[in-house]
Amino acid sequence: MEIVKARKLAFEYVKLDEEGRVESRSRAVDDVDLDVQAGDFIAILGHNGSGKSTLAKHINAILVPTEGTLFVDGKDTRDESKLWEIRQTAGMVFQNPDNQIIGTIVDEDVGFGPENMGVPREEIWQRVEESLKAVGMWEYRSHSPNKLSGGQKQRVAIAGVVAMRPKCIVLDEPTAMLDPNGRREVIRTVRELNRREHVTVILITHYMEEVIQADKVFVMEQGKIVMRGTPREVFSHVEELKSYRLDVPQVTLAAHELQKSGIPLPDGILTIDELVEELRKVREA
């Protein structure tokens, strides 16, 4: 079943001058078709200004398309009466962990979403416990968010979304402000959620290492989806990715350089183990 379905989706930012006349228009998202199956782990890659964050905000109905349509779990995001249902279906985690935590205590923050939905009290506590345990932050439930590390804060933010029991979680560059350890923590948490709870994950990022685990990768450039496929398919086009100012994982790049200098390696090597295995085969042959 498709949880997110976009058809010819376009979004325009309109800049007005002081008198309210249109000064300029810029198409942040342009003619995007996107299908995400329930239970998938999707990654959207793109350089700064490629429109990936704008696309993400559509899935949560924070923005509505200027052209085209977007259906989230069968509901049109332009239908205002379905707004809260859509936000409940598709949760969203933002980039800055500090600016999305509302509560002064971890458990209160996780309970914020369910409180807004009017969930009965006993169930809120149950959900808070479940979601904090799912992200491994249960021991910190009575801490102040200010005392946590960036990665921990981001996991609390994820728990806050999980507590709303969404079918789909959109993460808009959740690791951009974190150190490598925090980044790993967050990505591991997201992957676990996807595997164990079968939550659809849409991860928006510009770190290549994070998308290797994804089922499908979409590359965006100037508002358009320019590449799509499995990580292996996408990463086998090293030169094309470079033209979109994106890096490939170091191992893939090393394999590509070796390939260019004449060593017969296959395209799209993603892990160190794979490269070692392939190099061993080459030596034996």
Distance between CA 45 and CA 216 in Å, rounded?
11
Say whether residue 66 binds another protein (CB under 8 A): no
Cβ closest to another protein, residue 182 vs residue 231: 182
Say whether residue 48 binds another protein (CB under 8 A): no
Say whether residue 96 binds another protein (CB under 8 A): yes
Say whether residue 117 binds another protein (CB under 8 A): yes
Quick one: which of 91, 150, 182, 231 contacts another protein (CB under 8 A)? 91
x/- mask, another protein, residues 122-161, rule CB under 8 A, reads --xx--x----------------xx-------------xx
Say whether residue 77 binds another protein (CB under 8 A): no
Cβ closest to another protein, residue 13 vs residue 84: 84
Q: How far is the CB of 136 from another protein (least distance, A)?
A: 21
Q: Is 244:49 a contact under the CB 8 Å cutoff? A: no
Determine the size of the site formed for another protein (CB under 8 A): 38
Say whether residue 105 binds another protein (CB under 8 A): yes
Site for another protein in 237-266 (CB under 8 A): none
Say whether residue 60 binds another protein (CB under 8 A): yes
Q: Kindly tell me the sign of the dihedral angle through the C-alpha atoms of 52, 53, 56, 58.
A: negative
Cβ closest to another protein, residue 76 vs residue 108: 108
Report the interface residues with another protein, using CB under 8 A. 60, 62, 84, 87-88, 91-92, 94, 96, 98-105, 107-108, 111-121, 124-125, 128, 145-146, 160-161, 164
